[in-house]
Each structure stands twice: as C-alpha cells, then as structure tokens.
Structure 1
Amino acid sequence: MASSPPLPAVLALADDLSGAAEAARALGGPVRLCLTAPTGGAAAGAHDLVVDLNTRHLPPADAADAVRSALRYGGSGAPGSESSGAYGLLYKKIDSQLRGNVAAEALAYAEGAEALVIAPALPAARRTVTGGVVHVDGVPLHETNGWRAERATPPRSVAEAFSGLPVRRIPLTVVRSELPRLEAELKSVVASGAHPAPDAETGADLDAVVAAALRLGPGLRLLGSGGLAGALGRALARPAVPAPAPPSARGAAPLLVVAGTAEPGVARQIAHLTALGMSHLPLDPAELMSGSVEVRAGAVEVRAGVAPVDTVLSIDGSAGLHPAGGRALSAALAALATAWPGRPDLVLTGGETARATLDALGVRELEPVDEIHHGAVHSRTPDGRSVVTRPGSYGAEDSLLRIATALRPHLAATPAAG
C-alpha cells in the first residue's frame, strides 16, 4: 500500500504576537512559534512555522523589508527563482480590522507570486466581509470605533486598505457556488492582473476560498485573518496535537494579568477577576511611563519582594489615551511585568504589550499548547512558564475569567475576599 505524500509545511507570517499565536493554533498540528525571524538557509521540518515579525507599528518600508526577509528564509518557491520553496504553503496573517501596515506588507508579500487571495473575514469574532467591506457585528468598519487607538482613519473597503495593489472583489454568491465556479472566478481575476478578495461571512465560506485556492497551486498566496488560517488548517487536516498536561501553578508562582488595551470592555472583564479575590492595580499612564509607580494602600508591593499574589495590572484610561502613547505604555507595562516577583505565569492582552513583555524576558520561542477561547492562546516558554496571549479587541465579558480559571482552576472555587 502506497504511503500518502507528506503534507506541505506552512510558513505563516504575522505582524503582532497575539495574531501569530492565534494563527499557530488555527493551523492545528505541531507548530513552532518564533518571536524572531530565523536566519540562514533552512529546510522545513515536521512543524509548520509561524513567525511574529512584530511590524504592526513599524514604518511601512521597514515592515515590508521584514516580510521580504522572512520570505527569503522560507523559500518563496516563486516561478523562476533559485529556491524550490522550503515551505510548500505561505500564509500572511493580517488584522481582521485592517490595522497595521497591511498595504506595504501585502505589496512585499506579493513579490514573486501569481496573486494574493485576500480574505480578512473572522466569523468567530463576528467580523465579516460583504460587498467588499469589512463589517463588525454587522456595522461597516469605517462606522465603528475599532480604530480609535489608531492615528489614521479606517478604510471604507478592503480594496481601499490595500492601496497600490489591484484588488477585485468576488461576491458571496460566487463563493457559495459550486467549487469549479469559484475556482474559475479566481483564475479569471488573476488573469486580469488583480488580486481576488472574496466576500465571506462564515467558516464554510472561508473553507471554500481555501479549497479553491489550493487547487490552483502555490502561486496563489493566502493573506487574511485567523479565520483564513483556521480554514487552511481544516483543509490540511494536521495530526492532532497531544492534549496539554493539566494546568500547574508551578508551586507558589503567582498569576499576573497585564491588560494592555484601551478597549472599553476590559473594565467589566477585570471585575470578574476581582470578584475572585485577585488584586487589581489600575495604573496612571503618566506615572507608569515615568517609572514612578507608587505602592498604594492595600496594593501589591512590587519591589520589596513580599509574597506575591494573583494580580491584574491595567491602564487607567479615565483621562483618555492618546494613540501616540501606546508603544510607550506597552514598554512600561512590560518593564513592570518583568520585574514582578515570583516569576509569574502571564496573561497578556494586546499584541504589542505581549511582545514587549516577552522581549523584556528574553523569550524567543513559544510552544502553543491550547486555546482557551477564540484568540486566547495558552503557550509555554522554554523554561516552563505559562503565557496566554489575546488580542485586545477579543473576548466576551467573561474572557479574562475563563483564562484565569483555566490556568488556576482553584480560583473558581475561591471565595472573594470580604
């Protein structure tokens, strides 16, 4: 009996850490999650490779160069190139609300490809694409406040977000037609010199897009949200990753939740944790960035080495937050988390905060082991510390509660301090 051909390895590129972790879990199967782009020649091994390029807030030209460098490592397999393609499939993760350097990175990613298949829909987070426009909970993106922490205004369409790249929409009726029709439409768009951008509202829509794209070969590169990564993972049917070992509190290690996001719902999420008895430290942005965080009555002593407790750190946004201060706040939060006593396990919301914290800790690779809920990925560091990453805009009101009790099951049975 002939053995089945080996499944092609995937090289996935992301622009922030929480997105990289989301993509890693969505692909399924064994995967390496790297926080630094590998260098030198390499052949694909038994694992897919997901790389956080950490380009969300870089200048566009630098972000594009980071994409090109990663593609050189992976071997683009472009027609006529000297590389045979160390990785058989390429996937580029973008933000489902089209934030970041999506146009500059897409232009670099398209070099050497026949075309990109652009699908930012993320049905699990109620983000869909209809009429060529991203919708959040049914509202067009440009009419929401999803870009309130950005310095720019949101694009009015997918095509507008990818300025400089010819993009042609594929309607939902074609996506939901027979596969040969969708495949033919993809080929027609590519033949016209454009990049197909299919509408999608459901996981099944994205499954159809991936199935048609894979039939047309590696010249088409996938670019989209974690929803598209999930569809790719389902199509490849990777071997299941062994179930993670039961959660361990690593002895007396505390749990530190770092809420590095300006999302308005985070206060309600934190309230669920304080109801369990976790300490909460809302931090004044000016004090935090100046390095002069003071110990308040009843708060946790950070620097004197007293016995640590499970704690939530958050930004006090009562006076409003300026978009330009986001990176500085993430760095200041990272410095505080790194100095926290007891080598805590970490819950990090917001990709920039997560990346800054792990950079400060010297972590260069993560092993994704579980997904607590959509987008909330539990990983382990090489030295055994648990880290949960989650995009700042994800999660229902009980998101942090579910994460905390997954890492510390005893918290669910712990009465709140009276």
Structure 2
Amino acid sequence: MNAVAQHAARLLIVADDLSGAADCAMAGLRHGLTAMVLLDTEHAPAPTSGLDILSVDVDSRRASKDVAARRNVAAVESLSRAGTRIYKKVDSTLRGNVAAEVAALAPRLGMAIVCPAYPASGRTTRDGRQWVRGVPVEASEYWRNENIPGKADLVALLSAEHLRVEHAGVGSVRGEPDALAAHLRQLQTAGVQAVVCDAESDEDLQRIARASARLDDVFWVGSAGLAPAVIEALAPTRSTAGPAADREDPQGPVLTVVGSMSSISHAQLDCLKANAGASLVALEVAVAALDDPRGDVTTVVCDALRRGQHVVVSLSQTQRGDVEDGLLFCNRLAALLAPAVRYAGGIIATGGETARALLTAAGASALRVVDEIEDGMPLLECRLPGKTLPVVTKAGGFGQPGSLHHAWRRLANEGKTANTDQINL
C-alpha cells in the first residue's frame, strides 16, 4: 500500500485522461469537499489532511485493451481501501477502452451502473446507445476523427466482453425512486454485472445516482455528467464557500497549448487570438518542427515568456494524420514546451493527453483542485520545484466559443482587445 492509500479518499475516480479526471473531481467543490488529481500513483504525495475525492488519470484511452484493464485494476487496488466508493470515468463519446475497463473492474467491485450521458453538453444515452446532439456517436466527428468502427451501443459493447448486461430505459429511470432502487437491487441479486441506464437530462442522472447510491457492491461508469450527481448522492454539502477565496492571483505570462483535433477547440482558439490582446504571441507549429534539433519552438516560446508575453501554441491541422500520429505529436510538442514552463505564470491546456504530456514533462505528479472557471474547466494548482503554478485543463470537444478566452482572462488578469501576432514554425 502506498502513501496515498493510507489516506484513501471516500470516493476514488479512475479516469482514462487528465481533463476528465480533473473535471469529475471539480464537482466536489460545489459541496465543500476536498479533491486531488494524480498523474502518477507511484510517486504521488500523500494528502496532508482528510481527502474526500481522489481522482487518478491512468492514461488508458490510447492504450491496448489489456494494458487499459491492468492500469484500472492497479489504480483501484493501490488507491482504495474498505469503504471507498469507485467512479470509473469514461469519455461521453465512448472513445477509449470503455468495455474492457468495465469488464476488468466488475469482478472486483460488483455491479456497474453505466451511464456516460452528459446532457449539458448534448451527450445523451438513449435505448442503450450513445448520442451527441441527436446524432449517433458513430456518425459524429469524434469517431470519424479517430476512425473508430462499429456502433456506440453500450449493451452490445459490454456484452462482447462477456458481461451479463441489462438495460434500464428512460421509463424505468423516471419511475418512482424506490422502484428504481428495487429494480437495480433485483438485477444485482440475479447476478447482472452491468446495467446500462438511459439519461437525457440532469434530472435523469440525479435519479440514477440517488437510487444506486443505496446499494452496496456497485460502482459507477460515466462521464463528467453523472459524476456530480453521484457525489451529491454520496456526500452532504459541507460548505458553500469555495476553497480559492484566499488564493493569490496568478503572476506572470500564461502559456496556452491547444493539442486537440476538435473543431470546437479550434473555434475557441480563434476566439482567443481575436480577443486576447497585444501581449499574446500565437504560434502554429508544423509537424516538421517537432523534430527540429535546433529547438526553435522551445527558444521562441521561452523568449516570449521571459519578455512577459502570453503565448498560445497549437499544432497545424494540415498534417495531423491519424489519431496515433496526433498522440505522438502532442508528446513531442510537450517535450519541446516543458523547458518553458519555468517562465510561465500559468498553464492552459486543451485535450487531456496534451495537458498530461506537458505537466508530466515538467515534472508534475499531482494537482490540487482549486476552483471552477466554468462547466468543464477546473482551475488546478500544480506544485513544481521552486513554484506553484495555476493550471486550467479542458476537454477538446467541450465548451463555448469564448471558453478558452474566459480561462485565459482568469489567469492573465487582463482582457484588452487588440491584434494578435502570429508566428508559424
């Protein structure tokens, strides 16, 4: 048992990427709960006081099925103890190894309550399938960008992993609360290993959470949509006061990195560049520059930050290739930008893999959840050698056109409108 497990939280969130881990943990702040996000379970610092929520990124979204399963099991075994409730965070568009991870955890944790819906962001679970703004997920840009085959049918995907699966339709979910809890208990007694629950609204998610929280030997499988409802069902509100009231404003220029392929992220990038102000330097990095031994990207970014200029770095979309190439490029970009972190007063990263690669390259292993900038955008505190750095993470496909600019204003503490210098490397 490692140092963290000795102080095990009441709720352990096991996520497949960093932005999801942080987004789910952020929900605890609304109930006055303390939360920490881990990038490294082996070398993470132990909490100094009672911790309510521990969220770990096992970085399994791009891993093979077997590796993903092992990482999830290892996280649960090393970071939980008797009485810890488990939330398995998955992508609301079912990217990654959702079924394999559930199949690995079910024999150890009990019946899975599965509902990846995130209605506030247009993601719903209906007829046991996943939808984005009324379109089947398999027909959306999320699966097209990553060449994912098949259909986003949760019942079929979980059954293919040899789980005994049942479906709770919206009629069951919206019935009497006692009836839903009794139905879930009956399924559990009958040996069902996973129940896929339909949800098309936040109220549906709350019904599912309240009914299932009454049961022992269950765990939840969902996105950042279900997590707040589960946290509310498990923990009474302690305080409405936010933990960031006495936090000092960030000092120094902000480094923003956009590694996501999502069209939503790039619309947000355009908004940031149009409105951030004259002190922002924008770099669009070509794939060829990632292998430049002269380190032009590193030099340009470090020099700009040393001059007190804010910097936003994005990867050129014209040469991204397939998803495996995208992950490789994000890791290479993070390696080039890691030396610049020492000169930054704050970090914003879109795309969970981008954020993880950058923070890991800079030497981070844990982040404290500090505040909520907007839905889906937590403000985190990262302790690095010689400094404490505010960090904002955001999943690539989430948010409004102005979300990135909103986060930048929070960290940069300014909002003057002016032209933006653009550099192409």
Asked whether the two chains share a fold, i.e. TM above 0.5, the reply is: yes
CA contact under 8 A between 2:304 and 2:311: conserved in structure 1?
A: no
Report deviation, 1:301: 5.4
Q: Measure, in 2, the Cα distance between the counterparts of 1:38 and 1:186.
A: 36
* Counterpart residue number, 1:54: 59
Is residue 17–residue 354 contact of structure 1 (8 Å, CA) maintained in 2?
Answer: yes
Provide the C-alpha distance between the structure 2 equivalents of 1:302 and 1:73, rounded to a whole number of angstroms.
38
The answer for the alignment partner of 2:401 in structure 1 is: 397
Question: Could you say what secondary structure the match of 1:98 adopts?
Answer: coil
Partner of 1:73: 78
The one-letter amino acid of 2:99's match is A
* Equivalent residue, structure 2, for 1:413: 416
Deviation at 1:156? 3.1
Q: How does 1:137-156 map to 2 (within 5 A)?
A: 137-153=133-149, 155-156=151-152
Of the candidates 170, 173, 180, which is equivalent to residue 171 of structure 2? 173
- Residue 32 of structure 1 contacts residue 366 of structure 1 at CA under 8 Å; is this kept in 2? yes
Give the 3 Å change call, closer, same or farther, for CA 335–381 of structure 1 in structure 2: same
Task: Check conservation: 2:118, 2:224, Cα contact below 8 A.
Answer: yes
Instruction: Deviation per CA, 1:332-357: give whole Å up to 9, x if none.
Output: 22123212262341100111111111
2:16 matched residue in structure 1: 15
Structure 2 CA distance for partners of 1:273 and 1:324, relative to 1, 3 Å: same
* Structure 1 residue 243: Cα displacement: 3.9
The aligned runs of 1:278-357 (5 Å cut-off) are 278-291=280-293, 294=296, 300=300, 302=302, 307-340=307-340, 342-357=343-358
Q: Which amino acid aligns with 1:413?
A: K
Whole-Å Cα distance in 1 between the matches of residues 83 and 360 of structure 2?
27
**Cα distance between partner residues in 2 of 1:336 and 1:379:** 22
The offset of 1:225, in angstroms, is 0.9
Q: Distance in 2 between matches of 1:398 and 1:346?
A: 17
Residue 305 to residue 239, structure 1, CA distance change in 2 (3 Å): closer
Given that 1:11 and 1:87 are in contact with CA atoms closer than 8 Å, whether structure 2 keeps it comes out as no
Is the CA contact 1:249–1:408 (under 8 Å) kept in the aligned structure 2? no
Contact in 1 for aligned 2:260/2:351 (Cα 8 Å): yes
Q: How many residue pairs end up in the alignment? A: 396
Letter in 2 for 1:265: I
Q: Deviations over 1:243-277 (max 9, x none)?
A: 414775644x2111100111123332122222222
Identity %: 31
1:30 to 31, 34, 43: 34
Q: 1:237/1:123 Cα in 2 relative to 1: closer, same or farther (>3 Å)? A: farther
List alignment gaps of at least 5 residues for structure 1. Answer: 1-7, 76-84
- TM norm structure 1: 0.87
Tell me if the contact between 2:168 and 2:195 (Cα under 8 Å) persists in the aligned partners.
Answer: yes
Confirm or deny: 8 A CA contact 2:295 2:336 kept in the other structure.
no
Segment of structure 1 superposing worse, 160-169 or 52-61: 160-169
Match of 1:138, as an amino acid?
Answer: G
Letter in 2 for 1:322: D
SS at match of 1:37: coil
Q: Which runs of 5+ in 2 are unaligned?
A: 1-8
- Please state whether the residue corresponding to 1:385 is helix, strand or coil: strand
Q: CA 1:417 to 1:182, structure 2 compared with 1: closer, same or farther past 3 Å?
A: closer
Aligned to 1:159: 155
Partner of 1:256: 255
Once the two structures are superposed, what CA deviation does each residue of 1:376-418 show, in whole Å capped at 9, x if it has no partner?
Answer: 11101123201101111111211111111122232x2354469
From 97, 101, 105, the counterpart of 1:105: 101
The one-letter code sitting in structure 2 at the alignment partner of 1:27 is G
Task: Spell out, residue by residue over 1:147-179, the C-alpha distance to the aligned partner (whole angstroms, 9 max, x if none).
Answer: 233243253311233231232210101101101
Deviations 1:3-35 (CA, angstroms, capped at 9, x unpaired): xxxxx8111111110000011112331112111
TM-score by length of 2: 0.86
Is contact 1:289-1:329 (8 Å) kept?
no
Amino acid at match of 1:406: R
Q: Deviations over 1:208-261 (max 9, x none)?
A: 1111111122x111111111111012222342363414775644x211110011
The residue identity in structure 2 corresponding to 1:62 is: V
CA deviations over 1:74-95 (Å, ceiling 9, x no partner): 44xxxxxxxxx34431111111
Decide which structure has greater helix share.
2
**Residues 289, 328 of structure 1: 8 Å contact kept:** no
Structure 1 counterpart SS, 2:145: coil
